[in-house]
Amino acid sequence: MLVLRFIIFIYFFMGICSCSDRNISNDDIDKFISKYQDKTFSNFIGVSITFRDTDFGNDIYMVAKQGGKYPPYIIHFNKRKKEITSISNILLKQGNFHNYFDESKIKDLMQRFIDFDVKNLSVDSIGNVFISPFYGEHSPNLLRLNAITNERVVKKGYVYELYKGNWYVNNSK
């Protein structure tokens, strides 16, 4: 239960934190979608990575199994050097969990994630991609379904409205 509360806090904190006040236009969303429309996220199936904060030149990320049942690893990443400076499993230890990712898996995930330059990426077990590509208070969260369904609205924890193709947007905060 403590782990679930912590995960909820992380997502709540992400929603209220802002790195920029820039409004995101449909053109910004369209550019992002065209860039990632055909991108495979198969390396991230079952994984969630979230940017948390910056501390002494390192960006702090949470890396976890997708779904909220597992406590996250805390990763410090130096973007200038493009390398992980520390990996902490303290939250796993506190929750009496064994390591579910090894160091090489975390390093591989982070190297791939950093190339996207997004604040959150989560891919469920069937390949639906949940992504927050922009920084800022009013930035939308996007969902790319693994197949085009032509549904106008889908509920995947939150309500997402069809934007185009298999891309959906959730603007609520």
**Amino acid letter, residue 112:** R
57 backbone φψ class: left, alpha, beta (φ>0; ψ -120 to 50): left
Share the mean pLDDT of the chain. 84
SS3 content of the chain, % helix, strand, coil (to 5): 30, 30, 40
Residue 154: band (very low, low, confident or very high) from pLDDT cuts 50, 70, 90 = confident
Q: pTM for the whole thing? A: 0.81
In the chain, what is the straight-line distance between the N-terminal and C-terminal CA atoms, in Å?
24
Q: Mean pLDDT lowest for which of 41-55, 116-130, 137-151?
A: 137-151
Q: Where do the domains of the chain lie?
A: 2-170
**What is the per-residue pLDDT across 73-118, written as a single tens digit (0 to 9) for each?**
999 999 888 899 999 999 999 999 999 999 999 999 999 999 888 9
